[in-house]
């Protein structure tokens, strides 16, 4: 069988294996009603690591055979180099998930105490239902110069205040941080309430600064990514999900501001 055909089948089998692995992980999580999101996250990473390393081992053996075939003139240079590329990609996947495991295993930073003594009357009429979450929202809002009520409204729309929330796109935690965004802001465990609020607040701060204080564009960037906002000339991207997202949050946020 030609090398390129074997590589194509290998990629197909790996994809099917990944889909099966995620299905098993998802099913397991659904069967355990009180599962710890942090434990599930680490377990998923470890299973992926094992799967990726198995694929690397298989490709290394295959490539050793291909090298002999290439030297004997039985396969082309293109076929051999395609095999090398597949091996490099597999190794890169192992390296990436290894870094994610290292981040997930880092101890959580020391979180501040609940801040609540200096809450003004205008701030006291909203709550997530969790005093610690409320306190952290106010703490990080004050630290990074973001209106705590905007953080609250964003969190409500993102996760409905569920710290274990995970979207179908892979966003995690109270503030629904994507893996790349979490890494950008030093969040090692997206399901930790303090880290999630810190990372989400810093992201909102940067978006507000990027778009000159425009709350609507900052929210659009939070939902669709700042690149999408800039792509459409610093306007809300023409995506129904994003436009509804911005509309719903602003409806709540501006109503509170004008009351």
Show which of 71, 105, 139 is a domain's final residue: 105
177 has which bridge partners? 172
Tokens of 81: 């180099």
Q: Which of 100, 158, 226, 241 is catalytic?
A: 158
Q: Is residue 141 part of a domain?
A: yes
Question: Average pLDDT in the 164-176 region?
Answer: 94
Structural domain that includes position 231: 121-258
- State whether 29 and 137 are in the same domain: no
Q: Is 158 a catalytic residue?
A: yes
Top pLDDT among 34 and 141 is at: 141
Residue 16, domain member (yes or no) = yes
The CATH number of residue 153's host domain is 1.10.530.10
144/220 same-domain check: yes
Among 76-80, 155-159, 165-169, top mean pLDDT goes to 155-159
207 in Cβ contact with 196 (< 8 Å):
no
CA–CA gap between residue 91 and residue 79 (Å, rounded): 19
pTM for the model stands at 0.56
Question: What is the pLDDT at residue 254?
Answer: 86
In a domain? residue 115:
no
Q: Which residue has the tokens 């294996």?
A: 17
Give residue for tokens 């609250």.
152
Please state the φ and ψ torsions of residue 46, each to the nearest 5 degrees: -65, -40
Verify that 251 and 127 share a domain, yes or no. Answer: yes
Per-residue model confidence as pLDDT tens digits over 11-47: 555 555 555 554 544 444 444 444 455 566 667 778 8
pLDDT in tens, 209-237: 999 999 999 999 999 999 999 999 999 99
Please check whether residues 140 and 42 belong to one and the same domain. Answer: no
Identify the pLDDT of residue 49: 86
Domain C-terminal end among 53, 74, 105: 105
Residue-by-residue DSSP string for 155-224 = HHHHHTT-TT-B-TT--BTTTTB-HHHHHHTT-S-TTSHHHHHHHHHHHHHHHHHHTTT-HHHHHHHHHH
4 vs 79: CA distance, rounded Å: 6
Q: Do both 245 and 164 map to the same domain? A: yes
Query: Do residues 57 and 143 share a domain?
Result: no
Residue 113 lies in a domain: no
* Domain presence at residue 60: yes
* Average pLDDT over every residue of 56-63: 92
């Amino acid at each position: 069988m030609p090398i390129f055909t074997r590589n194509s089948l290998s990629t197909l089998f790996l994809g099917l294996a990944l889909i099966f692995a995620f299905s098993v992980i998802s099913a397991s999580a659904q069967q355990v009603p009180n599962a710890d999101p942090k434990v599930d996250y680490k377990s998923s990473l470890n299973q992926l690591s094992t799967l990726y390393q198995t694929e690397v081992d298989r490709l290394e053996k295959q490539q050793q055979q291909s090298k002999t075939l290439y030297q004997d003139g039985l396969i082309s240079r293109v076929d051999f180099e395609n095999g090398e590329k597949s091996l490099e990609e597999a190794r890169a996947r192992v390296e990436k998930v290894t870094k994610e495991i290292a981040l997930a295993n880092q101890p959580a930073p020391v979180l501040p105490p609940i801040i609540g003594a200096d809450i003004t009357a205008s701030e006291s009429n909203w709550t997530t239902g969790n005093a610690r979450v409320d306190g952290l929202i106010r703490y990080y809002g004050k630290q990074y110069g973001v209106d705590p009520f905007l953080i609250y409204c964003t969190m409500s729309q993102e996760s409905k205040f569920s710290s274990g929330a995970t979207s179908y796109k892979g966003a995690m935690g109270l503030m629904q941080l994507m893996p790349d965004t979490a890494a950008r802001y030093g969040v090692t465990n997206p399901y930790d309430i303090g880290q999630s609020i810190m990372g989400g607040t810093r992201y909102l701060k940067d978006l507000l600064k990027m778009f000159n204080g425009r709350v609507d564009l900052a929210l659009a960037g939070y939902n669709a990514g700042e690149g999408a906002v800039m792509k459409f000339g610093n306007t809300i991207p023409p995506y129904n999900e994003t436009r509804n997202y911005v509309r719903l949050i602003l409806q709540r946020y501006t109503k509170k501001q004008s009351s």
